[in-house]
Amino acid sequence: MSKQNLLSEMREVLRRMHYSIHTERSYCDWVKRFIQFHHLQARESLFVDAEKKVEDYLSHLVVQANVATSTQNQAFNALVFLYKQGVTITGSHPVKNNIFHVYRGRLARKTNPNKITTLP
């Protein structure tokens, strides 16, 4: 995958939207880790079974990497930004379905970037 080009374009969008430089660095780092985790080679592969890729990555962060909830939320928000701005950055359609992932030892559904619904 042309990681550098994708990340450069993402940086430009973040700057155009007046995001903090710290947010820009963090989001780009999380997207880079996401790409490396899935061994993605082409931009189009971002949108092939995207929901499952995001779910697997976020669940990996909790189960194998044992990250804190706030860290997982930061990674999730970076990926939400990537897919929400997908039309701008990749020329593809953003993901519109719900994403399920392990959240603090429980399954959770995040339907929008500002609300987490914990499932029983």
Q: Domain coordinates of the chain in residue numbers?
A: 3-118
Alpha-carbon gap, residue 5 to 10, rounded angstroms:
8
Q: Which pTM was predicted?
A: 0.74
Q: What residues have CB less than 8 Å from 88, skipping those under 6 apart? A: 9, 13
Q: Which of 120, 88, 87, 90 is nearest to 103 (CA)?
A: 120
What is the structure's pLDDT at 46? 83
Alpha-carbon gap, residue 14 to 5, rounded angstroms:
14
What is the structure's pLDDT at 20? 96
The whole-number mean pLDDT for each consecutive block of 10 residues of the chain, a chain of 120 residues, reads 74 93 96 94 83 90 89 92 71 56 51 46
3-118 to CATH, choices 3.50.50.60, 1.10.150.130, 3.20.20.70, 3.40.50.1980:
1.10.150.130
What is the structure's pLDDT at 51? 84
Alpha-carbon gap, residue 88 to 98, rounded angstroms:
21
What is the structure's pLDDT at 29? 97
What is the structure's pLDDT at 69? 86
